[in-house]
Amino acid sequence: MAPRKTAAKKSGKAPKATTKKTAKTPPKTTTRAPRKSTADVPAGESYVTYTPEISAAVCALISEGASVRAIAAMQGMPSKAAIFQWLAKHEDFRVAYMAATHERAHARYESMDEVMDDLRRGKIDSRAARVMVDALKWQCAIEAPERYGQVSRHELTGRNGGPIKSQQLPAADMTPEERQAEIRNLAAQHPELFATVASGPAH
């Protein structure tokens, strides 16, 4: 006799439906990138924004003897092209820049003492010192002509036996021979500064 099948008890409750929970996606938010500070700007980048602070820093460096090329290589400073564009666009920067180059002439003049010190210590030879001094004198004459643009050329004898006269010549108009003569005059007037020239650098 076959076993009797027992029917499973039916529950009156419907089976619970299984639903997968989906993670809620957070709403998209647009965040602005932090503004770059001057220290974050790479050297020589032209997108440095013109500000009174940056322009004042450029002029301060120029007055201390720095060139535009050297400033453009510094971190956080504008490129050469940007500096020249600022000169064309901003009159206040142009005026401050010209005043800074005038001050730089004094810094160049003072650097001649450093050249002579290097010559006495044997760090450079007399030929290099002469070229450097000539270049500095020329730059001084260009940037501050009212102070450094005139040099004296003395005659060995005056006309008709008269007193020795001096003629003022622009430094930029002097020939190489006249510049060498001027250096010899300086050597005669200040032999202590040019004492090493005759003997050469120390070894």
Summarised one tens digit per residue, pLDDT across range 24-73 is 665 555 444 444 444 444 555 556 899 999 999 999 999 998 999 999 99
DSSP 38: G
Quote the pLDDT of residue 145: 84
Quote the pLDDT of residue 72: 94
Higher pLDDT, residue 54 or 183: 54
Quote the pLDDT of residue 203: 40
The Cα-based distances of 172 to 138, 151, 168 in angstroms read 6, 10, 12
The pair of three-digit structure tokens given for residue 85, joined into one six-digit string: 């564009």
pLDDT-above-70 percentage for the chain: 50
The pair of three-digit structure tokens given for residue 67, joined into one six-digit string: 């060139």
Helix or strand run (H / E) with residue 41 = none
Is this model's pTM higher than 0.75 or not?
no
pLDDT at 90 over 80: yes
Quote the pLDDT of residue 35: 41
Alpha carbon distance 197, 199 (integer Å): 6
Quote the pLDDT of residue 173: 61
DSSP 184: H
In terms of Cα–Cα distance, which of 144, 148, 201 is closest to 174?
A: 148
Higher pLDDT, residue 121 or 11: 121
Summary mean pLDDT of the chain: 72
pLDDT at 147 over 70: yes
The pair of three-digit structure tokens given for residue 145, joined into one six-digit string: 């002509």
Q: Give the N- to C-terminal CA distance of the chain in Å, as an integer.
A: 129
pLDDT at 153 over 60: no
φ and ψ at residue 150, rounded to 5 degrees: -115, 135
Higher pLDDT, residue 92 or 34: 92
Q: Write the CB contacts of 41 (distance below 8 Å, at least 6 apart in sequence).
A: 47, 48, 75, 76, 77
Under the banding of pLDDT at 50, 70 and 90, the label for residue 146 is confident
Helix or strand run (H / E) with residue 59 = helix 52-63
